Structure 1
């Protein structure tokens, strides 16, 4: 990365190109002196009235564009890019002031100000504007309610976000310190207010996912992510993360969570994979591997950032899990290893000495880990129904949950070859009767009101004992009311179940 400085010395404009970032003050003075007849020994460079003495001072001076060259009381002013119109610089300053003072009128100028910053990104004032304001603009823009704004305003917001994504990529390419990288955590977050849209309620039994979002916000996030990808954004990000792993410049947990989630979602999409190029897939691999490595050995400050949002921890864990399951991302980490890593992170949070908040979040995350472990075990469990007189009822049922009750439910889609029954959705689920007795039914659930008298019931079994979360394996009979099942009644078999000795099956107290 080099500097280009435009200056005016003794009434004449000149330009210094390709100045190295680590240029010494002596070299800078010689470069400036070479543009005129001034002796380097007679030059002094000031920033805000303070004499510049080191290369770090030079960098700060260029960043804020306030230094001037003085000789015998005559100022040689360092200018910005002469190609930047005065009105554009005025626009940047107007938006900056509006953000500082909370003026809503400048919101209409966000897109134009960012577009101008893109066009003149080589100019130091443009970069200073971006570094100072981009994250504020993105955070404020994504806080809008996407359902309550008009089409014109929505298009303006989308334009602003696309400009922001491009600027993040451009900034990464210039050897940045990651000053605006946190904006990416908003741009790829489908849960922010502007992108969020309530998903329609499901009409029948469906597998519950805790971080999928509705179609509208996923499409918007995908478009922004694709735009970022086309600009080599993920390639630039991969390079940045590899260079800054285990340092304070590594992307914060919010950025990591949503970037990894986006990449693992896109690479796992069989219908429309968007990361087709080898470079993008390689970048995704580097990003995921760096994320796993950094989290596994991060310091307590990073744990503090991770613990600030309980939901973020779940999103991060699910994103990493989805990534290691992806066949298109070579992470060198399998699912059991990720379990070990995540358990280690949680234990480190619980044992954090400096922060009670981190310890508290660690205990909350521990309960989430137990639930995750339980669900993972149960997801491998299947229910086999056999021997039923109604032949299409026989077969394998897989576990899931339903939106109308947080009960254990097993589902079977009747395959082809069973005539009119083919394609039916059969369920084996528990129902609490008016008498508070718990019964299990094998039924065809009604799409609109499952678990009611509208279900087509085939077989039933009354639970006995404490094992209410599992169906009885024997003792099934035909339904007594509106029975549609034929004799004989089936017997059941559970496979993939992890048995726990009764003396060890102690439930953890609620958090």
Structure 2
């Protein structure tokens, strides 16, 4: 059975939990043999960081290697793109909202303010920390080529069928380019309950 670096880390983390200090020390040493740069950045920033098994230096090196690898496949224009203005530093594209408020959803855990949190497959994504069924989690508001989703993404493979999708809306329902996600016209996903949410925007303009 072939395992990913993330799966190996999860096993190591589980082995170290609740054990004596000697086993925790062994786990920290073993973590140095895991290629952290091959783990998704979202998992690095959440599960890996909170485990306490890796140092800030290890994380920094992993992020550095990921950035260098990305620079090999991304055109130079990706990094040379001029900022629209210093007032819009929090927005990925001029005019896009810095925050989106989701309200009225039957699944109350997803309601709240989602702030811009980088991009997913070249499109803006927004996130909100919360609790679902007693467990801390991060909700995403993001899109694929065809749909917008409100989901708890899978840590090792976000944007896949392993995500927990609460609500979705076809990109065809977008009202205009300035407000990318539809404010209405949301459908119920596998983990969502009626009614569907409505969205409100906060823009830098």
TM tier relative to shorter chain: 0.5 to 0.7
Contact 1:428–1:440 under 8 Å retained in 2: yes
Match of 2:70 in 1: none
Alpha-carbon shift at residue 376 of structure 1 (Å): 2.9
Contact 1:204–1:448 under 8 Å retained in 2: no
Match of 1:474 in 2: 184
Change in CA separation of 1:413 and 1:366 when aligned onto 2, cut-off 3 Å: closer
- 2:84 maps to which of 360, 367, 370: 370
Q: Quick one: distance in 2 between partners of 1:471 and 1:484?
A: 20
- 2:130 maps to which of 414, 426, 432: 414
SS at match of 2:82: helix
Q: Are 1:454 and 2:162 matched, yes or no? A: yes
Change in CA separation of 1:215 and 1:493 when aligned onto 2, cut-off 3 Å: same
Q: Are 1:384 and 2:101 matched, yes or no? A: yes
Match of 2:140 in 1: 427
Contact 1:204–1:446 under 8 Å retained in 2: no
| Count of equivalent residues | 141
Change in CA separation of 1:405 and 1:487 when aligned onto 2, cut-off 3 Å: same
Change in CA separation of 1:468 and 1:445 when aligned onto 2, cut-off 3 Å: farther
Contact 2:39–2:156 under 8 Å retained in 1: no
Q: Quick one: distance in 2 between partners of 1:389 and 1:382?
A: 21
Which one scores higher on RCO, CA 8 angstroms, separation ≥ 6?
A: 2
SS at match of 1:486: coil
TM-score of the pair, normalised by structure 2: 0.56
Match of 2:204 in 1: 498
Alpha-carbon shift at residue 424 of structure 1 (Å): 1.3
Change in CA separation of 1:202 and 1:370 when aligned onto 2, cut-off 3 Å: farther
The structure where strand makes up a greater share of residues is: 2
Alpha-carbon shift at residue 205 of structure 1 (Å): 3.3
Structure 2 gap ranges (5+): 1-34, 46-55, 62-78
TM-score of the pair, normalised by structure 1: 0.24
SS at match of 1:487: coil
Alpha-carbon shift at residue 467 of structure 1 (Å): 2.6
Change in CA separation of 1:207 and 1:217 when aligned onto 2, cut-off 3 Å: closer
Structure 1 gap ranges (5+): 1-197, 209-213, 220-364, 433-437, 500-511
Alpha-carbon shift at residue 487 of structure 1 (Å): 0.3
Structure number with bigger Rg: 1
- 1:441 maps to which of 138, 142, 149: 149
SS at match of 2:90: helix
Q: Quick one: distance in 1 between partners of 2:59 and 2:163?
A: 34
Alignment of 1:124-163 (within 5 A): none
- CA deviations 1:346-391 (Å, max 9, x no partner) are xxxxxxxxxxxxxxxxxxx984333876543459711111111111
RMSD, aligned CA: 3.8
